[in-house]
Amino acid sequence: MGINIALCETEAEKAPCRSLKLEVRRARTDAAGFDDYMIYEEKVSLDDARNVFPDFEGFLKRNRINAETDAVYMDKVKKDEDREALAKYVKKTATGWIDLTRMDAATREKALKAAGPDDRTTAWDDLDFDSMNKMCSECPLSWDKGRGCMGTFGPATSKLPEIARKYGCPIIGATFENAAAMKKLTPEDAKAVLKEVEVLKPALEKEGKMAVHRYMGPLERIEAAAKVSSEYNCRFYFF
C-alpha cells in the first residue's frame, strides 16, 4: 500500500481549476421533487445498431466508439448521418442524475442537500483528459514536476517517518498517522515541514547511502508540496 501527497487545491485562489471544481453541475439523489431535471441516457442496442449498419466495424471506427461497448450511446455518435439512421431505435433511460444548471437557486440548494458529497459532478469533470492535463501542466500549484498537485510519497513501509522522529521532526515523523486520519496540514504547518526538510537532508547523509537513495526523493516531494502550500495558502495532506 502506498502513501500519496495532495494539496487542497480549491483553497488556492490562483488555482486555474478552482472555479471549475467548485461549479457543481449534476447531482445524484433518490429524493423526490426533481423529476423535471432528470438526465436521461439515450442508447441503441448492439443488435439494432448492427441491423442498421451491416458494416458495424466501420460504423464504430468512423465514430471512434470502443468496440467493447455494451450498447451504442448516442452522445458518442459523432456523425450526423449515423445519428439520423439510429434515431428510431433510441431508448431513453433515467440515469438517476439531475441537472443543476437548469434549476433556480432555491431548488439547487435543496438538490445539493439531498445529494451526498460523492454524488456530484462538476465543470472540471466535463473536461477531456487532454484539457485537464494541459491545465495541470501549466498550473503554478503543480508541484509534482508538472503532473499535478497530487503525487506519490512512497510505500507504507518507508522508514523516513522513523528517521524524522529520530532527528526531532514530528510532522514528517507522523506521516502515517496523518495519512490514516487524512489530517489537513495548514500553510503554517507547511512552513514547519520545510524546516524539518532542512534538518533531514543532512540527516539522510548521516544515515548512509541507502537512506539517501531510498528517501531523498520522497523528502523532496514533501518539500515541493509544502512550498506550494505555504506560497499559495492552501492546506495539504497525506492519504
92-to-77, 78, 165 alpha-carbon distances in Å: 15, 18, 59
In the block, cell 442537500 appears at 113
Helix/strand/coil for 165: helix
| Annotated domain spans of the chain | 2-17+140-238, 35-114
The pLDDT value given to residue 125:
96
Helix (H, G, I), strand (E, B) or coil at 227: helix
The Cβ-side half-sphere exposure at 115, using a 13 Å CA radius, reads 24
Q: Is it the case that residue 145 has pLDDT exceeding 90?
A: no
pTM above 0.75, yes or no: yes
Residue 88's φ and ψ, nearest 5 degrees, are -75, -10
What are 40-97's pLDDT values in tens digits? 999 999 999 999 999 999 999 999 999 999 999 999 999 999 999 999 999 999 999 9
pLDDT at 1: 77
Residue 142 backbone dihedrals phi, psi, to 5 degrees: -80, 85
pLDDT digits (tens, 9 = 90+) for 93-113: 999 999 999 999 999 999 999
Residue 193 contacts residue 222 (beta carbons within 8 Å): yes
Instruction: Assess contact for 28 and 98: CB atoms under 8 A.
Output: yes
